[in-house]
Structure 1
Amino acid sequence: MEQYFNEYAEEVPAGETSRALSRAAAEAGVCVVGGTLPERCGDRLYNTCTVWDSSGKLVTLYRKMHLFDIDIPNKITFKESEVLSAGDQLTVFEYNGVKVGLGICYDLRFPEMAHLMAKEGCSLLIYPGAFNMTTGPKHWELLGRARATDQQLYVALVSPARDLAAGYVAWGHSSLLDPWGAVLHQLDHRPGTLLADIDLTTVEEVRSQIPIRAQRRTDIYDTVQKS
C-alpha cells in the first residue's frame, strides 16, 4: 500500500480528488468530510482529510498526526513513516454551530488528541480510517466506544468497504457511537449508507450527569497542546 502514496498524491485543493469533493459538496448542498487522500505539499507527502462547505469551498484540512508503524509477527507489518510525513496540528472546525474534530485511522488510539479536541468544544469527532483484518475486529469498535465514552461526545468511524482482492483489506464496519459509548448505527463489511440524526442535547446531558470534565485533577495531571 505504501508504494501507492507517491503515485496517487496530489495537491490540495488543486488536485483531481479535491475538485471532485468540492463539486459533490456544492451539488448536494452539504458539508463533506472527504475521507483521506495522499497530499503532496512541496517535497512531503501527507495522509490528509479535507472538509468542504455547501458551496464547495475548502473549510479546512487535517494531516494525519500519528503514523501507522507497526509489526505484528505473521500478520501485518506496516511503516507509513517510510513514505509519509506526520502532521503537527489538531483540526477543529465549526459548521452550522457544531464543532467537529478530525482524526485519521491510527489517531483513534490516542486519547490525548481526542481530549484536546473535546476541550475545544467538539460534540462530534470524525475518524476516516481503514483498520485491517487483524486490528479491525479487535479494536475498531472498542476504540470508537472508548473515545465516545471518555470524552462524552459522538464519534463517527468511517471505513471503506471490504475488498478481498485489494492489496490492503479493510475491516469495514462504519459506525456511529453516542456519548454513552453505545453503538447507535453500524454497517457491516459491504458497501452501504449510514444516515442518522445526532441529538446534541445528549452530549450536555451526559456531561452534566457524569461531570468528569469538571472533576479532572488538573492540579496533579493535565493534557496540554504545545503548538
Structure 2
Amino acid sequence: MKIAVAKYPIGAPRRFDDFAEKQSLWLREAASAGANIAVLPEYLSLELGAIFEAPIRDDLHASLAAIQRYRGAWLALYSALSQETGMRIVAGTFLLDTGNGRYRNRADLFSPEGGAVWQDKLQLTGFEKKTGVIDGGDALKVFDFDGVRAGIAICYDIEFPLPVRAQCEAGAHLLLVPSCTDTLAGATRVRVGCLARALENRSFVAKAVTTGAAEWSPALDINTGEAAVYAPMDVGFPVDGILVASNEGAGWSYADIDVAQLDGSRAQAQVANDRDWRGQLAPQLLQATVERCS
C-alpha cells in the first residue's frame, strides 16, 4: 500500500470552486503517483475562511460559523475525488458545528466505494481551549479497508499513548495523523509523538502538515513541520524510524507500507514493546514508593 502525506500550503481561495480546484489538482497528483491513500492536514477547512470579507475572515468565531455553509459541498467534493481517483482520502479536518455554536474538529475518511467514516479530535490544545467553542470528541474508532485496520489520531492526539494504544489493541497497524502546528516546538512534539507511538505499538504512522504563511487567518497564520511516514525502529525498517519525510518545499511525500511484512518481522524483532506493554501495568508498578536517600 502506498501512502501519500501532504505538506500542504495554505492559500487564500476567493470561491469554493477555487478551493475545489486546488484539491482536485493535489489529489490527482497523488493518484498519478500510485497512492492508495492520501492524508491532508488538520484545519484544512479553515482555508475556506479566506472566501469571506474581512469582518468574518478576521474573526475565528465568525469564520467557524460561516464555513458551515460549505459542509455539504465539502463532503460531496472529497467523496467524488475519492471515487474518481480510486484513493482513500483523509480530508484533513473540518471544524463542524454540532449545535448551539459548539464545534468538533472532525477528520473524514472517504472511500472509492462512496462511503465515509470519521474520527473527532479527542484532546484540545491550549489554542482550542481558548476559543471557548471547540469540544473534544467522545468516540474512539478504527477502520477496515484494503486488508488494513487503521486509526486516526488528530495532531495533539498522537501525543497521548493510551487512546492510541486502544486503537492498536483493536487491531490498528496504521495511524493516520492530520496535523497543524505553528511553532517548531509544536512540530517537534507531534513528530516525537508519532515516533513514540510507532515504537510502542509496532505500527506505521502517517503524518500530514500545513506549511507557509497565511496572514489573513487568525488560526493558520504560521505553519511549521514536515510531513512524514514512520515505522518501528527495529529489524527490517530504517534505524531512525523514518520511511519518508518532506523537505523544505510543499508537496506530497510517499511511502510503501506492508502490514504482512510488519507482522512477519515480529519474529526477528530486537524488542517487543507492543507485546510487553502490559508488563508495565502490574499493580505494584502503578504507584511509586518514596524513599529517603540520606
Shorter-chain TM range is: 0.7 to 0.9
Q: Structure 1's 123 and 178: CA in aligned 2 closer, same or farther, altered over 3 A?
A: same
Which of 235, 240, 255 is matched with 1:196 structurally?
255
**CA deviation after TM superposition for structure 1 residue 205, in Å:** 4.2
CA distance in 1, matches of 2:226, 2:120: 23
Q: 2:222 aligns with which of 169, 172, 183?
A: 169
What SS does structure 2 have at the residue aligned with 1:162?
A: strand
Task: Name the CA distance, whole Å, in 1 between partners of 2:150 and 2:106.
Answer: 16
Q: Give the direction of change, closer, same or farther, for the CA distance of 1:103–1:9 in structure 2 (3 Å limit).
A: farther
1:1-227 aligned at under 5 Å gives the runs 2-3=60-61, 4-9=63-68, 15-43=72-100, 44-58=102-116, 60-69=117-126, 79=129, 82-163=132-213, 165=215, 167=217, 168-180=221-233, 182-208=241-267, 209=269, 210-215=271-276, 216-217=278-279, 218-220=281-283
Contact conserved, 1:171 with 1:189, CA < 8 A, in 2?
A: no
Q: 1:136 to 1:219 in 2, by over 3 A?
A: closer
RMSD: 2.4
Aligned-partner Cα distance in 1 for 2:256–2:196 = 21
User: Could you say if the C-alpha distance between residues 202 and 173 of structure 1 is closer, same or farther in structure 2, counting changes exceeding 3 Å?
Assistant: same
CA contact (8 A) 1:103 1:128 kept: yes
In structure 2, give the amino acid aligned to 1:85.
D
Change (3 A) 1:96 1:189: same
Give the letter for the 2:123 counterpart.
H
Counterpart of 1:9 in 2: which secondary structure?
helix
Given the two structures, how large is their TM-score scaled by the length of structure 2?
A: 0.65
TM-score of the superposed pair, with normalisation by structure 1: 0.83
SS at match of 2:223: coil
User: Matched residue of 1:39: which SS?
Assistant: strand
- Give the number of the structure whose residues are more often helix, by fraction: 2
Counterpart amino acid of residue 160 in structure 1? T
Mark the structure with the bigger radius of gyration: 2
Partner Cα distance (1:78, 1:102) in 2 = 19
Equivalence for 2:52: none
| Count of residue correspondences | 212
Instruction: Structure 1 unaligned segments of length 5 or more: list them.
Output: 70-76, 223-227
Percent identity, please: 23
State how far apart, in whole Å, the 1-side matches of 2:99 and 2:144 are.
28
| Structure 1 stretch displaced more, 141-150 or 21-30 | 141-150
CA distances 1:172-210 after superposition (whole Å, capped 9, x unpaired): 311100122611111134320112210223422454422
Structure 2: give runs of 5+ residues left out of the alignment: 1-58, 234-239, 287-294
Could you say if the C-alpha distance between residues 93 and 78 of structure 1 is closer, same or farther in structure 2, counting changes exceeding 3 Å? closer
Q: How far has the Cα of 1:135 moved from its partner?
A: 2.4
Q: Contact (CA 8 Å) 2:153, 2:177: kept in 1 or not?
A: yes
Contact residue 198 and residue 230 of structure 2 kept, 8 A = yes
CA–CA separation in structure 2 for the residues paired with 1:31 and 1:51: 7
Is the contact made by 1:35 and 1:49 (CA closer than 8 Å) also made in structure 2?
Answer: yes
Extract structure 1 runs of 4+ deviating beyond 6 A: none
- Does the 8 Å CA contact 1:162/1:170 hold for their aligned counterparts? yes
| Matched letter for residue 135 of structure 1 | A
